[in-house]
Amino acid sequence: MHIADLLSRPFNEKEMQIDDEEMIETVRTLTKQLQMSDIKKREFKEATLKDQGLKKVQQYWETGWPSSIDKVPKEARSYFRFRHELSVEQDLVFLNSRVVVPVSLRKSMLLLLHEAHCGVEKSKARARQVIFWPNINDDIEKMISTCMVCERYRLQTIKEPLISHTIPHLPFEKIDICDYGGKSYLVVGCYLTKWVDVVQLRNKSSEEVINKLKPMFATHVSQKS
């Protein structure tokens, strides 16, 4: 009977928002635990009360949202699709556990998010923990793309592209030779098999190198037909 009664009644956003005691208690707890100084909290409250979009959100929290976005004033339309996740407590607006930042404070919040000059994904992850506003991810990407400090270090850390090589058809058809350390080792690597041979050289003369290569080739290289 309870299920039938619930499904037969029209959906009432106002009733859901006002009577959801669990949601209200959660928001109150979040407000108490908000990691924000009293000065910063007062700044947020004052900015929220002056923000035309958030003033509408607070109004709709009390009275219920319009049935369609067309009936929402332009300044509050960006919040419409989040309306079921928004709540109000102590003059602050929350999206679930994240405080909604008024327009006037968003630039300073972006600077705080990016103060360590982290990349886009890390900055977004920091934002997801504590703050929200519509299109915040786009604003983070735009800010970082125009950050002069990030741009300077990005140019310094550009990696050289890998240079590919042709794969040989026979073992030891193509090799790399180099010496290693102060004792003049001959290191031979085969591009096809990835086999590596290391032998010590008495000196770096061509005769000594050839003498060391001959037994390697005799062991590993097949004669072409």
- The strand ranges marked E within the chain are 86-89, 92-95, 98-100, 131-132, 175-178, 185-190, 196-200
Amino acid making up residue 154? R
Same domain, yes or no: 46 and 140: yes
Same domain, yes or no: 64 and 145: yes
Query: Using CA atoms, how far apart are residues 73 and 105, in angstroms rounded to an integer?
Result: 21
3-state SS, residue 6: helix
pLDDT (tens digit per residue) in 49-79: 999 999 999 999 999 999 999 999 999 999 9
Same domain, yes or no: 143 and 192: no
pLDDT (tens digit per residue) in 108-167: 999 888 887 888 898 899 888 889 999 999 999 999 888 888 877 765 655 667 777 777
Domain that holds residue 179: 174-222
Give buried/exposed letters for 8-47 (b at 16+ CB in 10 A, else e).
eeeeebeeebeeeeebeebbeebbeebeeeeeebebbeeb
Same domain, yes or no: 132 and 35: yes
The pLDDT assigned to 126 comes to: 87
pTM listed for this prediction: 0.56
Same domain, yes or no: 54 and 140: yes
Here the tokens at position 2 are: 């309870």
Please, are residues 186 and 199 in contact by the beta-carbon 8 Å criterion? Answer: yes
Same domain, yes or no: 48 and 110: yes
Does a structural domain hold residue 47?
A: yes
Does a structural domain hold residue 77?
A: yes
Does a structural domain hold residue 33?
A: yes
Same domain, yes or no: 30 and 129: yes
The pLDDT assigned to 138 comes to: 95
- Residue 34 carries which DSSP code? -
Same domain, yes or no: 210 and 145: no
The pLDDT assigned to 17 comes to: 43
Q: Torsions phi, psi of 35, nearest 5?
A: -80, 80
Same domain, yes or no: 132 and 188: no
Same domain, yes or no: 146 and 38: yes
The last residue of one of the domains, among 95, 122, 153, is 153
Q: How much is the mean pLDDT over the chain?
A: 78
Same domain, yes or no: 99 and 61: yes
The pLDDT assigned to 18 comes to: 42
Query: Using CA atoms, how far apart are residues 58 and 79, in angstroms rounded to an integer?
Result: 11
Query: Using CA atoms, how far apart are residues 215 and 93, in angstroms rounded to an integer?
Result: 79
The pLDDT assigned to 199 comes to: 84
Q: Give residues with Cβ within 8 angstroms of 156, minimum separation 6.
A: none
Does a structural domain hold residue 201?
A: yes
* Domain count for the chain: 2
Does a structural domain hold residue 16?
A: no
Please, are residues 209 and 186 in contact by the beta-carbon 8 Å criterion? Answer: yes
